[in-house]
Amino acid sequence: MSIVIVGKLGNDWGIEGLIARHVSEFVNLRIIDIKEFNLGKFSSDDNFVFIQGRGIDRDLLRLYRGKKVLWNAEFLPYKGFEDNQEALARLYAIEPLEDFDLILNGCPLSTKFLKEIRNLNIEWFPMMGADSLFHRRDCDIPKDTDIGFYGAVSQRRIKIWHELIRVVSKYSIGSLKLAWKQVYGKDLIRFIKY
């Protein structure tokens, strides 16, 4: 059995970069760019994991007998945000979701909503993580944050931020410093590291 991870190669700061740095540690696992997938040069029994899922040749995808997994980090529509234009645009870019045997989604609210209204095989699976080799802490820089939250300001994230503060206040022993940063790429890695 072979597993092919399909993503946007060249994204050293995203999940594709994290996987690419470690792919050689696993047998029968490789990572390719979406453009290479769309050339159609794979065994019909290969299993695929698609990161984000945009730009897939759907006719080609349906020819494969192996398992097809979508790993999507972005929030999609959910209860109360069914008509959110950003969420709908993201959803339309990866439809039809029924083409996948399993969907791993980064937003728990979207996961619950899509499971309930579409009866999809979808599970909440956070996409962020830290690579101990790549995200090493620089000991010369003092730690100034206990809990970090990143992303552009939106009503949804403001609610998440307030809930995070509430939970931390309720369960933490002592005071913790929380920080919300609007960063991506190298700046996000620096934020994770320090």
For residue 42, how many C-alpha atoms fall within 13 Å in the half-sphere facing its CB? 28
* 82 secondary structure, DSSP code: T
**All structural domains of the chain with their residue ranges:** 3-124, 147-193
Check: CB of residue 44 under 8 Å from CB of residue 68: no
CATH architecture of 3-124: 3-Layer(aba) Sandwich (3.40)
Closest residue by Cα to residue 106 from 78, 79, 75, 70: 75
Closest residue by Cα to residue 72 from 56, 57, 94, 88: 94
Query: What amino acid is encoded at 190 in this protein?
Result: R
The two structure tokens encoding residue 83: 């008509």
Per-residue pLDDT in tens (0 to 9) along the chain, 194 residues: 688 888 887 766 666 776 777 777 777 788 888 898 998 888 777 889 998 888 899 999 998 888 999 988 777 888 888 888 888 888 888 899 999 999 998 888 889 999 999 999 999 886 655 555 555 555 665 666 777 777 667 777 788 788 888 877 787 767 777 777 777 666 766 666 65
Please indicate, yes or no, whether the overall pTM of this predicted structure exceeds 0.85. no
